[in-house]
Amino acid sequence: MIRIGLLGLGTVGQGVFEIVNERFLKTSNKEPIIITKVLVRDKSKKRSLQISDDLITENFDDIVNDKDIDIVVSVMGGMEPELTYIKRSLKAGKHVVTANKEIISRHIVDLLDLAKNNKVSLMFEAAVGGGIPIISSIIQILKTNKINRIQGILNGTTNYILTKITREKRQFDDVLKEAQKIGFAEADPTADIDGYDIMRKICILSSIAFKTVIDENNVHMRGIGNVTYEDIENAGKHGYIIKYLAQGLLHDDNKYSVSVTPILIKKASVISNVNEENNIILIQGDIIGEMCFIGKGAGKNATANAVVSDVLQVAAGINDYALLRFDSNALSCGIDGIQNEYYIRVSTENFDQFAKSIDIVYESVKKLKLSYSKGKIFFITEKIASSEMKNLYTKLTQCAHDVFYARMENNLM
């Protein structure tokens, strides 16, 4: 019998509880798995699943001090107290399975070391890509390949929002509320909208793939909070769709560039056609070439499935995460030198802002396409460096009401 202490009974925790009880509690051909304690913040809260009161506790000590618990499944969210609970569980000789990307992105090495020193496993498949088994796949690919590129849609909430605005012309805030209700969004959804969630996920994947710890401060990150239907409509007129892309590149000189930005991507590309809460992850290995993984990136069942898969690995005594290494010493070179065409929308409130914005763009970019409608100016630039685009954006935001920009990607799968 494998005994689990479950930390958190929200969207993911409930999914784990249901899968374990329905598929692994009473089983004749496998070792049964039982959830013996569940930690929540508020015991009195009404819950949509049937659970005995005796199982629930508000005191973590009831789990960490329970010698019979083998695995702690940690699906609470945020940094503290979950980080402390994970560390205490590992130190107490319990295996840990978590879906917390914030903790893993910042503490991947120290937690894996702590697990190793205490002869237990730490697994976190559910932290990236929801139900897509991406971390175990990267571990397999790395056995023979050097990985030099990871790209993808890694946030279900924002992909859901972009899909609904594009297809149904719905309002941003209205779709966000729906994504929160379904359980895709983080407890604080600004983590999804401003890019922190996707940044943490690309840090985890790039750290593993490039064998170096990616510092979150070295990620170029922009949110999608001010994208409008007009941006999507304009992109469409030029044959593009707006998506929110995470990218990690390892260059030949062992320097890396990691970014999280909105992009315009050709309608016919594979990425353009990954919609709603689905994620896509493209991986370039030097032997295997480009590989593509698509699946549900958020939500109760997909995420809980990834958590339970990790539990089964632990139960079977398999710990591929022990193969992870972070000693390549690759350094960040940022993205300043990377050249792209850009789509820019400048919203102005009067003629002065309108005229100044056009002057500013023409001062910086020689060749561009321009159109305008109701005080909004839409530009498509020639190829310019990312650093030039950043300067241009700073100048435009000082003079106009609202500015959105996104690089244009023509060569992605």
The contact set with ligand HSE (CB under 6 A) reads 130, 155-157, 184-186, 192, 197, 297-298
Asked if residue 133 lies in contact with residue 313, where contact means CB atoms within 8 angstroms, the answer is: no
Residues 281-320 that bind ligand NAP (CB under 6 A): 298-299, 303
Which of these segments, 41-49, 141-149, 226-234, 336-344, binds ligand NAP (CB under 6 A)? 41-49
E strand or H helix that includes residue 219: strand 219-221
State the nearest-atom distance from the C-beta of 24 to ligand NAP, in Å: 20
Which of these segments, 7-15, 145-153, 165-173, 216-224, binds ligand NAP (CB under 6 A)? 7-15
Residue in 30, 41, 267, 369 binding ligand NAP, rule: CB under 6 A: 41
Instruction: Name the residue nearer to ligand NAP (CB basis): 42 or 327.
Output: 42
Assess 75 for contact with ligand NAP (CB under 6 A): yes
* Position with the least CB separation from ligand HSE: 157
Residues 108-167 that bind ligand NAP (CB under 6 A): 126, 130
Asked if residue 250 lies in contact with residue 145, where contact means CB atoms within 8 angstroms, the answer is: no
Catalytic residues: 201
Q: Write b or e for each residue in 12-51: b if 16 or more Cβ atoms lie within 10 A of its Cβ, otherwise e.
A: bbbbbbbbbbeebeeeeeeeebebbbbbbeeeeeeeeeee
Which of these segments, 171-179, 183-191, 234-242, 286-294, binds ligand NAP (CB under 6 A)? 183-191
Asked if residue 7 lies in contact with residue 73, where contact means CB atoms within 8 angstroms, the answer is: yes
Assess 246 for contact with ligand NAP (CB under 6 A): no
Instruction: Name the residue nearer to ligand NAP (CB basis): 76 or 330.
Output: 76
Assess 189 for contact with ligand NAP (CB under 6 A): no
Which of these segments, 72-80, 147-155, 221-229, 383-391, binds ligand NAP (CB under 6 A)? 72-80
Residues 303 and 99: their CA atoms lie apart, in Å, by 8
Helix (H, G, I), strand (E, B) or coil at 326: coil
The listed partner (ligand HSE, ligand NAP, none) that binds 375, CB under 5 to 8 Å by sort, is none
Residues 379 and 50: their CA atoms lie apart, in Å, by 55
Residues 99 and 171: their CA atoms lie apart, in Å, by 30
Tokens representing residue 400 in the block: 């106009």
Burial zone of 68 (CB within 10 Å; 0-12 exposed, 13-18 middle, 19+ buried): exposed
State the nearest-atom distance from the C-beta of 186 to ligand HSE, in Å: 4
**Which residue blocks in 223-323 are alpha helix, DSSP H?**
229-237, 300-315
Instruction: Name the residue nearer to ligand HSE (CB basis): 5 or 131.
Output: 131
SS3 breakdown of the chain: % helix, strand, coil, rounded to 5?
40, 25, 35
Instruction: Name the residue nearer to ligand HSE (CB basis): 282 or 306.
Output: 306
Instruction: Name the residue nearer to ligand NAP (CB basis): 9 or 389.
Output: 9
Instruction: Name the residue nearer to ligand NAP (CB basis): 185 or 344.
Output: 185
Assess 81 for contact with ligand NAP (CB under 6 A): yes
CA angle 250, 254, 260 (to 5 degrees): 30
Query: DSSP string spanning 152-187?
Result: EE--HHHHHHHHHHHHH---HHHHHHHHHHHT-S-S
Binding site for ligand NAP (CB under 6 A): 8-13, 39-42, 45, 75-77, 81, 99-101, 126, 130, 183-184, 186-187, 298-299, 303
